[in-house]
């Protein structure tokens, strides 16, 4: 008999949690990582504008008002960073739920 047929509903949920966490991490690895690597072009533009090396407040926003290319890169970086963070939080959430399940199985 296949284990899926004999698994309880809770065990099926746990498999779903683990598969979704794996999928979230694959999305982060194969979708968002290459996009963030492309952001090296942003560093090149920042070097050309002589910004990004200061400590504390950034001149980036001031320069971005004058340079539409940098403004577009900043917007794209913010979107990529936000989505990557959301994927990480979702992965953390389902793994926390699975950890809660495993902790409930402990007998001390």
pLDDT of residue 57: 56
pLDDT band at 56 (very low <50, low <70, confident <90, very high): low
**Structural domain includes residue 4:** no
Asked if residue 3 belongs to a domain, the reply is no
Residue 45 inside a domain? The answer is no
- 80 close to 32: Cβ distance less than 8 angstroms: yes
Q: Give, to the nearest 10 degrees, the angle between helix 40-48 and helix 68-104.
A: 140
pLDDT at 82: 95
In the predicted model, what is the mean pLDDT of residues 28-37? 91
Structural domain includes residue 23:
no
**Total count of domains within the chain:** 1
Is 84 within a domain?
A: yes
pLDDT of residue 63: 78
Q: Global pTM?
A: 0.80
Predicted confidence at residue 4, as pLDDT, reads: 82
Within a domain: residue 73?
yes
Sequence-distant (≥ 6) Cβ neighbours of residue 73 within 8 angstroms: 39, 41, 42, 45
Interhelix angle 68-104/9-27, rounded to 10 degrees, is 160
Residue-wise pLDDT tens digits, 66-89: 888 888 888 998 999 999 999 999
Per the structure, the complete domain to which residue 103 belongs is given by 58-108
Residue with tokens 């403004």: 71
Evaluate if residue 51 carries a pLDDT over 70: yes
The answer to whether residue 58 scores a pLDDT higher than 80 is: no
Write the DSSP string, 44-104: HHHHHTT-S--SSS-SHHHHHHH-HHHHHHHHHHHHHHHHHHHHHHHHHHHHHHHHHHHHH
Is 65 part of a structural domain of the chain? yes
Tell me whether residue 103 is in a domain. yes
* Rounded Cα–Cα distance for residues 80 and 27 (Å): 12
Q: What is the mean pLDDT of the chain?
A: 88
In the predicted model, what is the mean pLDDT of residues 55-72?
77
């Amino acid at each position: 008999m296949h284990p899926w047929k004999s698994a309880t509903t809770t065990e099926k949920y746990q498999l779903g949690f683990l598969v979704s966490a794996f999928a979230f991490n694959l999305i982060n690895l194969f979708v968002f990582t290459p996009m963030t690597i492309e952001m090296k072009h942003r560093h090149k533009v920042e070097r050309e504008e002589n910004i990004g090396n200061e400590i504390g407040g950034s001149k980036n926003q001031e320069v971005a008002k004058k340079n539409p290319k940098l403004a577009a890169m900043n917007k794209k970086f913010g979107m990529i960073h936000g989505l990557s963070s959301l994927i990480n939080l979702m992965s953390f959430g389902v793994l926390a739920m699975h950890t809660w399940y495993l902790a409930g199985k402990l007998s001390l």
